[in-house]
Structure 1
Amino acid sequence: MDIEGEEPDPRFTLANERTFLTWLTTSLALSAGGVAMAAVPRDVFVPWLRTALAVVLVLLSVLAGAMAYPRWRHVQRALRRKAPLPRLAVASLFGYGVAGVAVLALVLILIAGR
């Protein structure tokens, strides 16, 4: 790795690596959720809303996967420089995005259960 600075405590480097892998796991889970939502039979949920939820989940998956490595690198750089850790600018997007999908899916489940 070509990041300048001092080698950080291995525990911090390993924690950063675990976080990187968690971002990838989250990306995979969001993608699977999107595919599962798209596979729901057309007569169960409102088709356009089901498709919209699937697209949102897959887009969140793409974002999580695409930002995993750059995030790991920025945190590693901060650790080596003993600088403050960079904040995660899209944290609210992930939180509200997943919560919004969950609420809409719950509404669809309740409507379909009637």
Structure 2
Amino acid sequence: MPEPAWRNEGTEPDYRFTLANERTFLAWIRTALALLAGGVLLHQFATELDPRIVVTVLSAGLGVVAAVLSVVSYTRWRANEIAIRQGRPLPFSWVLPALAAVCLLTSAVLVVLLLIA
């Protein structure tokens, strides 16, 4: 696979910054995998929660969020790498508040389901 053009822009950063950026990317991927595992777990083991459609929607929603987070984590890693190479500030990310909102919404729905079950 040929090297992307942006890898030749700017100056080669200190390897510590590049490795820190990669560790952050991997942390986002772990979060996406945890959300996916949570969706699978919810779908498989929350069989006694009613209405079942809500559990299915939550499970599928967690899977979709995991897929989106995987893509966003790469684009975030790439944008950070380009900013580091060009000596610019790191770009703002909307991912943290959005991910917190998804977790809050999912847990609130689960608490309501558990209370009415």
TM-score normalised over the length of structure 1: 0.87
Aligned match of 1:7 = 12
Aligned match of 1:39 = 44
> 4+ runs of 1 displaced by more than 3 Å?
none
Aligned match of 2:77 = 72
User: Structure 1 residue 101 and structure 2 residue 89: aligned?
Assistant: no
What is the aligned-residue RMSD (CA, Å)? 1.6
Cα distance in 2 between the residues matched to 1:41 and 1:64 = 24
| Contact kept in structure 2, 1:57 and 1:98, CA below 8 Å | no
**Equivalent position SS for 2:90:** coil
Code of the aligned partner of 2:75: P
Q: Alpha-carbon deviations, 1:2-37, whole Å to 9, x = none?
A: 421112222211110001101111111110111111
Q: Alpha-carbon deviations, 1:65-113, whole Å to 9, x = none?
A: 112222111100000101011111333221101111011112222333x
- Structure 1 gaps of 5+ residues are none
Give identity over the alignment, percent: 38
User: Structure 1 residue 58 and structure 2 residue 63: aligned?
Assistant: yes
Greater Cα offset, 8-17 or 36-45: 36-45
| Contact kept in structure 2, 1:8 and 1:80, CA below 8 Å | yes
Cα distance in 2 between the residues matched to 1:54 and 1:21 = 23
Match among 6, 19, 40 for residue 24 of structure 2: 19
| Contact kept in structure 1, 2:83 and 2:90, CA below 8 Å | yes
Cα distance in 2 between the residues matched to 1:69 and 1:41 = 32
Code of the aligned partner of 1:42: T
Aligned match of 2:93 = 88
**Equivalent position SS for 2:66:** helix
Cα distance in 2 between the residues matched to 1:33 and 1:9 = 37
